[in-house]
């Protein structure tokens, strides 16, 4: 959530930054008007409350000085006081309603792009900043798509998944299930060695949690909800990991907090309109190892670079060619101020495809989730900064292995780092 005080004091600057995401998409004027009205009501209420207190005090003083409770003077003061209380009873719900409207509008505003985020309208204007692993690009020109080689090997079954659920689900069989488990273990081992504390969070999460990290209200249609409860299936472990600390005041000495978690993730993929209907790229249910950092604002940028390196380290350990992209202002996620995407090479389509997004949300999620910290010897509190990144999306990593390690004879080599987990060298 953006700082309302900052919006009020610097509306032109904030509007210009929002326009970098897309001119005309966001309008601060309704928020400024609601805030003006709410502040006027607050001033009137405060003045009336002071007048009510003054009348009560005056009545007490006059009775103490000898006036009788039924005297005309006291009766007049009481009538005045009752009128003030009646007006207050009308103002308070009006003010409460304005505050609720104001908060609803604030929740629809995305985070402000970082000053260092490149300007651009869409993904076509993202900036490549790093490429790795050209020496590992496969030389085989007859590489099958991952879903085809996976079905031939008997490790991916989409038809039976449709029977059990519907389209955009997969069943992993035999060595496919083992490969998924090996990837999860490898990723978690790498990240816990790097200093992340592993967490197994709840997979059903409440509305407040999704609102806190920015998935609600904007992405409600992309989430699965349990209609009988105030619970949703987690779209990413970022949500429960951040919300573990909602409404808390941490000590500065506790920061940074680094968590990693393997979880299934659930997304409707609303609006994908037939994209990636085959294979493991865009499923309703997929596994992911997530990285979350809760940090001091002074170290936010440094911690972002560390998180990026932690995610890149998985691809480099697996020897999968990838590139690092800095997202432009028009392609930023709702809660992000600055984002790097990692894109892995998929040779069957001769394209790099996203496998991780590493974002710095600054204090945007912390304001929505009310996560603060205090420093020893200093008054007051500050909002923490939150960062998140996939380390990595497991299904997309499997897809990359099935294609990049595919052999002309139809077998698939296992990356060296995974061989101890699987006890084999070839699928």
What's the pLDDT at 369?
98
Give the residue numbers annotated as catalytic, written as ranges.
Answer: 267, 282, 354, 357, 396
What's the pLDDT at 64?
81
What's the pLDDT at 270?
67
What's the pLDDT at 57?
87
Question: What's the whole-model pTM score?
Answer: 0.91
What's the pLDDT at 383?
98
What's the pLDDT at 409?
93
Domains of the chain: 4-106 (1.10.287.40), 123-422 (3.30.930.10)
What's the pLDDT at 77?
83
What's the pLDDT at 277?
74
What's the pLDDT at 40?
92
> What is the token pair recorded at 322?
């990838």
What's the pLDDT at 358?
98
What's the pLDDT at 274?
63
What's the pLDDT at 273?
56
Q: Give the pLDDT means over successive 10-residue stretches in the chain (427 positions).
A: 95 97 94 94 89 86 81 84 86 90 96 97 96 94 94 96 95 97 98 98 97 95 93 97 98 98 92 73 96 98 98 98 98 98 96 97 98 95 98 97 96 97 95
């Amino acid at each position: 959530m953006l700082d309302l005080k900052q919006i009020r004091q610097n509306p032109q600057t904030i509007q210009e930054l929002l326009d970098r995401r897309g001119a005309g998409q966001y309008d601060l004027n309704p928020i400024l008007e609601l805030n003006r009205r709410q502040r006027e009501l607050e001033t009137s209420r405060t003045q009336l409350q002071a007048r009510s207190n003054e009348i009560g005090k005056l009545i007490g003083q006059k009775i103490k000085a000898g006036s009788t409770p039924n005297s005309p003077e006291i009766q007049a003061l009481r009538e005045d006081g009752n009128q003030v209380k009646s007006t207050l009873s009308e103002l308070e719900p009006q003010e409460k309603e304005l505050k609720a409207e104001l908060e609803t509008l604030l929740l629809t505003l995305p985070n402000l792009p970082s000053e260092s985020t490149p300007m651009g309208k869409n993904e076509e204007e993202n900036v490549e900043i790093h490429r790795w692993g050209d020496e590992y690009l496969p030389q085989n020109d007859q590489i099958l798509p991952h879903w085809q080689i996976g079905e031939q090997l008997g490790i991916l079954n989409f038809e039976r998944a449709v029977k059990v659920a519907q389209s955009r689900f997969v069943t992993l069989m035999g060595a496919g299930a083992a490969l998924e488990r090996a990837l999860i273990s490898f990723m978690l081992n790498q990240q816990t060695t790097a200093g992340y504390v592993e967490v197994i969070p709840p997979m059903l999460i409440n509305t407040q949690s999704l609102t806190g990290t920015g998935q609600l209200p904007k992405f409600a249609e992309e989430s699965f909800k349990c209609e009988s409860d105030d619970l949703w299936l987690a779209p990413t472990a970022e949500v429960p990991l951040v919300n573990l600390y909602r409404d808390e005041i941490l000590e500065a000495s506790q920061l940074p907090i680094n968590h990693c978690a393997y979880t299934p993730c659930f997304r409707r993929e609303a609006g994908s309109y037939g994209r990636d209907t085959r294979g493991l790229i865009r499923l309703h249910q997929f596994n992911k190892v997530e990285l979350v950092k809760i940090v001091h604002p002074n170290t936010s940028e440094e911690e972002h670079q560390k998180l990026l390196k932690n995610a890149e380290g998985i691809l480099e350990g697996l020897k999968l060619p990838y590139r690092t992209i800095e997202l432009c202002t028009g392609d930023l996620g709702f809660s992000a101020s600055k984002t790097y995407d990692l894109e892995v090479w998929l040779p069957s389509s001769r394209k790099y495809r996203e496998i991780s997004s590493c974002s710095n949300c600054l204090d945007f999620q912390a304001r929505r989730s009310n996560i603060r910290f205090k420093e020893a010897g200093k008054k007051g509190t500050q909002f923490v900064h939150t960062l998140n990144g996939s380390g990595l999306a497991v299904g997309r990593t499997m897809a990359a292995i099935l294609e990049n390690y595919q052999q002309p004879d139809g077998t698939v080599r296992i990356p060296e780092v995974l061989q101890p987990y699987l006890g084999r060298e070839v699928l």
